[in-house]
Amino acid sequence: MTSPTDPRDHRLTEQRNPDTVDIDLADASGIVELLNRQDRLVPEAVWAVRHEIARAIEMVERAFRAGGRLIYVGAGTSGRLGVLDAAECPPTFGSPPEMVQGIIAGGAAALIRGAEGAEDDFDAGGAAVDAKDARANDVVFGIAASGTTPYVRGALTRAAARGAGTVLLSCTDPPSGLLANVDIAILPKVGPEALTGSTRMKAGTATKLVLNTVTTGAMIRMGRAYGNLMVDLVALSDKLRDRGERIVMEVCGVERDAARRAIAGAAGHVKTAIVMLRRHVDGAGAERLLAEAGGSVRGAVGEPPPPVTRGDPRD
């Protein structure tokens, strides 16, 4: 933070980027080049924390297997990205909406209009976790690009007190006091922003990459994919119906009409249709096989199932 005699903020996300100090003198092409050079640093920063991301995937998988939830908490851009990732899980993976949830400081209104002052309320973060009734089987995942957001600190402090697993995603080194309440810290150091302090840029990009990886990884581990196919989608729109039919055609080697009939017989559930066709059973039989295989298509069709991560979500 700043001092009375030093105007600099020593958080990495607030430092001035020496490579873009004259960005206001650049033409449109020059701005694109300068910003893109900075954006190319983000994947490497995320790669550097790949082991921590993998640990978070395992923690979330354990929570899901124990009937728990993943609850994102953030403010501003960080909060919006958490809510976005949570909202995209049901249509992608067929997961119930309560399985992955997002909390943003300032509530739903902050999704479309800035409510930046809401991030300063430490107690409100704790109250939001209480309102979700976070428990030991849940994972509360705080997102704070600058590492110091009081709302997120309050949420993680309260989550730890309630026995929930805790993860922090930040693009700078957070205060040691905050780390005391965190089981896993994911810290992709993307460096100073092209526009000083604008963490909607590199930090926001890194955040989306990490969140996408965590939920995609955990859902894959839960059997909500077969190979790299989204077999747990529910075909409720024209685009998804077409995608579902193409998945069944490819996996089962049937024509579109047969795929369409199978999906209809499976009440729109693509993975059920696959098992019906591969195991020559009706919908009820396919559902039973899937339940016995823990939701894994591989297990239900008689292939070796993927490994399972078990244990306390905080391990």
pLDDT (average), residues 260-276: 94
Same domain, 102 and 204: yes
Q: What is the pLDDT of residue 311?
A: 67
Catalytic site includes residue 88: yes
What does the pLDDT average to over 293-313? Answer: 83
Predicted TM-score of the model (pTM):
0.90
DSSP 61-127: HHHHHTT--EEEEESHHHHHHHHHHHHHHHHHH---TTTEEEEETT-GGGGTS--GGGGG-HHHHHH
What pLDDT is recorded for position 37?
96
What CATH number is attached to the domain comprising 256? 1.10.8.1080
Q: Are 224 and 94 in contact (CB under 8 A)?
A: yes
pLDDT at 115 over 90: no
The answer to whether residues 101 and 194 belong to one domain is yes
CB-based contacts of 213, cutoff 8 Å, min separation 6: 46, 53, 57
Q: Are residues 153 and 199 in the same domain?
A: yes
pLDDT of residue 144: 94
User: Is 119 a known active-site residue?
Assistant: yes
> Which of 178, 193, 221 is the C-terminal boundary of a domain?
221
The answer on 292 and 215 residing in a single domain is: no
Calculate what percentage of the chain has a pLDDT beyond 90: 76
Residue 229 within any structural domain of the chain: no
Mean pLDDT of 243-259: 96
pLDDT of 314 strictly over 70: no
What is the H or E stretch that residue 140 is in? strand 139-143
From the list 58, 119, 245, 287, the catalytic residue is 119
> In this structure, is residue 10 part of a structural domain?
no
- If you average pLDDT over residues 38-42, what whole number do you get? 96
Whether 263 and 191 share a structural domain: no
Share of the chain above pLDDT 70, in %: 95
Residue bearing the bigger pLDDT, 126 or 117: 126
pLDDT score at 307: 77
- CA of residue 99 relative to chain centroid, distance: 12
Chain centroid to CA 127: 22
- How far is it, in rounded angstroms, from Cα 93 to Cα 61? 14
* Angle CA 314–181–125, to nearest 5: 105
Give the range of the structural domain holding residue 286, as residue numbers without chain letter. 238-300
Mean pLDDT of 272-282: 96
Quick one: pLDDT at residue 6?
54
Look at residue 146 in the predicted model and tell me its pLDDT: 86
Is residue 196 located within the same domain as residue 292?
A: no
Are 248 and 286 in the same domain?
yes
| CA pair distance 91, 242, nearest whole angstrom | 14
Total domains present in the chain: 2
Which residues, at least 6 apart from 40, have a Cβ–Cβ distance to it below 8 Å? none
For residue 28, is it within any domain? no
**pLDDT value at position 7?**
56
More confident residue, 181 or 239: 239
pLDDT over threshold 90, residue 163: yes
CATH code of 142's domain: 3.40.50.10490
What is the CA angle 232-296-259, rounded to 5? 50
Claim to verify: residue 184 and residue 105 sit in the same structural domain: yes
Residues 164 and 95 in one domain: yes
